[in-house]
Amino acid sequence: MLLGMGLSAIAEYFYQGLPACLATLYEGIVTAWNAEEGVKPPG
């Protein structure tokens, strides 16, 4: 029973963090796709 609860807690943790991770990846891909050659990121 504890194993099942542990796995569900881990799955819930990743499920909650997944949308933010995918949004960040999407923004990065869009930025890279639309960037001109030789553009340097700020900072």
Q: Could you tell me if residue 15 is inside a domain?
A: yes
Q: Could you tell me if residue 39 is inside a domain?
A: no
Report pLDDT for 2: 65
Q: What is the pTM of this model?
A: 0.52
- 18, with CB counted inside 10 A (0-12, 13-18, 19+), is exposed
Domain of residue 13 covers 1-34
Q: Could you tell me if residue 27 is inside a domain?
A: yes
Give the type of residue at 36.
E
Report pLDDT for 26: 93
What gap in Å lies between CA 10 and CA 4, rounded to an integer? 10
Q: Could you tell me if residue 41 is inside a domain?
A: no
- pLDDT digits 0-9 by tens, 15-33: 888 888 889 999 999 888 8
Q: Could you tell me if residue 42 is inside a domain?
A: no
Q: Which residue has the higher pLDDT, 20 or 35?
A: 20
Q: What length is written for the chain? A: 43
Q: Could you tell me if residue 6 is inside a domain?
A: yes
**Number of domains composing the chain:** 1
Give the type of residue at 26.
Y
Q: Could you tell me if residue 43 is inside a domain?
A: no
